[in-house]
Each structure stands twice: as C-alpha cells, then as structure tokens.
Chain A
C-alpha cells in the first residue's frame, strides 16, 4: 500500500509540474505576442534577427533538403518499381518535400541551430545580469529581446522552407535524371502537374508555426535559465528538446487540420 501511495504521489507531482510548465509557457507566449503588437517596436532588432535566424540557417536547411530530396527519390523508386509505378517519383518527391519533409526536417534542423543559440544567449544574459541591466535602462527584455526573435523566426521559417523545398525537389531531380534514367522534361512536368497550391500553403503555414515554436522555446528556456554554466547548458538542452518535440506534435495536429 505504501509503495502504491508513493507511486501515486510521484505521478501526481510529475503531472502537476508538467501542467505548471505548460501554464508558464502559455503565459510567456501570450506576453511575447502582446509585446509584438504594442509599441515601442524594435525594427532594427527584428532585421538583425532575420539575418541571424533566417539567412545564416540557409546552408543547413539547404543541405538537409538536398540530401533528403535525393534519398527520397531513391526510396520511392525502389518502392514504386515493385508495382510498376516508377513514374510517381517526381510527384511524390515534390509533394513529400513540400507538405511534410521540408517543413519538419527544416524545422528540426533550425531548432537545433536557433533554439540552442537563443537559449544560450539569453541564458548568459540572465546569468551575467544583462537582463537586469536592460530593465534598469528602462527597456523591457520581453519587448527588446523576445518579441523580435519570435517575430523574425515566424517570418524567416516559411522563407527558409520555401527555399529548402525547391532545393529538395532539385535533389530528387538530380538523382531522378542522373541515376534513375528519368527524362529531364518529363520529370519537371510531372513535378509541376501533380502539385496543388494547398500543398505549398499547408507546408508554409506549418513552417510559420514551427518558427514561432523554435524562437519561443529558445527564449523561454534562456530567459528562465538557472545560475551558472550548468544552468545555461540545461536551458540550451531543454530548448532544443522541447522545440523538437513540440514541432513533431504540432506537425501532427496541423497535418490533421490540412488533411
């Protein structure tokens, strides 16, 4: 009986801790959104974060998409050839990249790069009292640091994913025409013919949500970082893990919504 009580208590306290974390994240997110719509606005900070989050993530997103598109073409061909459906390779590579793999893999890669960097930066600012210094200089850290990062990531991710999708389709095209013997014109025609506008918009909408999640998790964990190097390290890990898990969970919810 004692063991059962102990187990029940431990489950109960874990559930409570989880609920309180969710509550804190929701309040933090609402606060960030509120600061996005209330002046003063820090346009220069948003532009600088667009460069940091968007432009500097292009290589990692591009390379991920290129190899994913190439591997996808091979896998679909290998499956399709079993029932004489090799011709679906271009369309499935395109639809698969645009609807699912582009946003999800792009999101996960950017989560690794950007969430960690934001959490480490804000965590270090917390530990070295730079966040307190901002307050004493009459500047709200939520408005000056968090809101521009959240806005920049939400804008940058769809652009990154659009570029990534194009590169991914190019990867499939290179393998399709170079390795699998597809005719170049036919490959491109099939890619375009079977793609619908909704495929593209649903992928880009997912990317915007993932961008919001990535910046939010980086900011939340960095802003609430514990003391010392260990606190910052923990904040960085938590930011990447929670952003990745939330991206996968949000992906399922959004896929259901766009299904």
Chain B
C-alpha cells in the first residue's frame, strides 16, 4: 500500500506539488492523469526518492519511506520509464537481468539470463532479442524490454511513466493489455502516469487527476465518465475552453 500525505515540492519559485494526498491499496492499479507540467512525474519521482520533497510524508506498506533502507525500499519497486531508459551499452538480456546481477542478493549470470529470457517471452519477445542491443530495437520493442526489466525481480509495486507515449494505437493497445495482464497476474500495486485515456480505461481501477499541484478529482474508473467535475470533463473532452488554461 502506498500513502502520500500532504506532499509539497517546489523548484525555485515554481510550486509543482502543493499538498498532494494519495492512497493506493495493495494490488490496486491507479492512473494519474493531468496536463503537462502538473506534477505527475515529480510525484512519482518523490515516491521513488529520485526527488526530495519539501514537506509531507510518504508511507510504503505503513512504513515511512525516508526511514527505510534505500536498497531494501527500492527492491519493492519496478519502473517502466517513458522512453524505456534502457542502458545502451548492455545487451537486452543484461538490461532485463540488471537487478538480478547486482547487489547483495545477486544470482549467477546463467540463472539471471534464463529469468531474463523468460521475462522477455512474457512480454511477447523471442529469446534472440536478448542478444541484441537497445539501439537495434523499435520503440514498441524497447517498451516491452523496459516492461520485462520492471518485472524481472517480481516487485510488489510497479510504476509506469507514460507507457504508450510515442507508440501507434495498435502497439499502445498491446502494451496496455500486457500491463493489465502482468499487474493482475503478479498481484502488484501499480501506478501509471498517462495522458492516454485508452490506457486509463485499460489499466486503471482508480484514477486521480492532478492540476496546479493538487488532486482535483479522484475516484473509481467507473465514475470517470459520470463525473461532473469541470476540470476532469475538460481534460476528458480535450476542450481548449474551461477551468484549465490552454496556455500554461
């Protein structure tokens, strides 16, 4: 379970998060939507400890994140980055097996490779892809490899940062379906940042909308279309006019 309480984050004079409260239950899949620059990625980075928040608290399974051992804390997480963020200098299987071959709990390389190939298969890639380098793969394949890397160590919590950005609608559908399947299969808690409403509908159980550094709307996926919230309606309909300024 992830609990974020009254989180604040500023970059110089720019307030990005202005008292964000979020709660995700164990095994739940939450989507965070909102316009560009509304603090979605910063929220995710604060939870992971990649950015230091100014005030507020983050709890993972009831324990305050700042008090946990960083390695132990991060071992609970898997993350799919927006552009996959694969390591260029490593082959695909080494990317997938990276966490398994580092740190105190590392396993022999042969075993790590077998797991990596199995995870690649799980995301629909053939074993021969394992020996290629990230630069040799298409955008969709890179996303799948990123997904395989995120789930390689069977984490309890998985974050997806704009998983379908830059992909065609068919590939987006494939990735959305994979994410949903994997999250359900692993029983993982998932948090997805996206602008893509088809992703939200395919992946999420619960949705929150961020605007001006605050949660403007939160609710169950079934309530999304019925909501009368003017911010959410403008975002869903993609209207230029409404409470959200078009030029920010």
A selection of 13 A-B contacts at a CB cut-off of 8 Å is A40-B102, A125-B87, A128-B83, A132-B85, A133-B85, A136-B48, A137-B99, A138-B70, A138-B74, A138-B75, A138-B99, A138-B102, A139-B102
Number of interface residues of A (CB under 8 A): 15
**Alpha-carbon separation in the docked complex, A133 to B50 (Å):** 10
**Alpha-carbon separation in the docked complex, A156 to B83 (Å):** 35
Number of interface residues of B (CB under 8 A): 24
Pairs A-B, 10 closest by C-beta atoms? A133-B85, A129-B85, A136-B79, A138-B74, A137-B99, A138-B71, A129-B81, A130-B85, A132-B50, A137-B98
* Neighbouring A residues of B74 by C-beta, 8 Å: 135-138
Question: B222 at the A/B interface (Cβ < 8 Å)?
Answer: no
Residue with the greatest number of chain B CB neighbours at <10 A, chosen from A129, A133, A134, A137: A137
Question: B45 at the A/B interface (Cβ < 8 Å)?
Answer: yes
Question: B82 at the A/B interface (Cβ < 8 Å)?
Answer: yes
Given contact pairs A128-B83, A133-B87, A137-B74, a sample of 7 additional A-B residue pairs in the complex whose CB atoms are under 8 Å apart: A40-B102, A124-B88, A125-B87, A129-B81, A132-B50, A138-B99, A139-B99
**Alpha-carbon separation in the docked complex, A40 to B105 (Å):** 12
Question: B103 at the A/B interface (Cβ < 8 Å)?
Answer: yes
> Which B26-49 residues sit within 8 Å CB-CB of chain A?
45, 48-49
* Neighbouring A residues of B50 by C-beta, 8 Å: 132, 135-136
Which residues of A come within 8 Å of B, CB atoms? 40, 124-125, 128-130, 132-139, 144
The majority secondary structure among interface residues of chain A is helix
Over the window 95-126 of chain B, the binary record of Cβ atoms lying under 8 Å from chain A Cβ atoms (1 yes, 0 no) is 00011001110000000000000000000000
* Neighbouring B residues of A137 by C-beta, 8 Å: 74, 98-99, 102, 149
**Alpha-carbon separation in the docked complex, A132 to B99 (Å):** 14
Contact (Cβ within 8 A) B103 A132: no
Question: B77 at the A/B interface (Cβ < 8 Å)?
Answer: yes
**Alpha-carbon separation in the docked complex, A96 to B82 (Å):** 54
Least Cβ–Cβ distance between A114 and chain B, in angstroms = 16
Q: A138-B71, A138-B74, A138-B75 given as contacts; is B99 within 8 A of A133 (CB)?
A: no
**Alpha-carbon separation in the docked complex, A132 to B74 (Å):** 12
Contact (Cβ within 8 A) A129 B82: yes
Contact (Cβ within 8 A) A130 B87: yes
Contact (Cβ within 8 A) A129 B83: yes
**Alpha-carbon separation in the docked complex, A129 to B50 (Å):** 11
**Alpha-carbon separation in the docked complex, A132 to B50 (Å):** 7
* Neighbouring B residues of A133 by C-beta, 8 Å: 79, 81, 85-87
**Alpha-carbon separation in the docked complex, A138 to B78 (Å):** 10
**Alpha-carbon separation in the docked complex, A178 to B78 (Å):** 66
**Alpha-carbon separation in the docked complex, A201 to B116 (Å):** 49
Least Cβ–Cβ distance between A230 and chain B, in angstroms = 18
* Neighbouring B residues of A40 by C-beta, 8 Å: 102-104
Over the window 185-217 of chain B, the binary record of Cβ atoms lying under 8 Å from chain A Cβ atoms (1 yes, 0 no) is 000000000000000000000000000000000
Least Cβ–Cβ distance between A121 and chain B, in angstroms = 8
Least Cβ–Cβ distance between B147 and chain A, in angstroms = 13
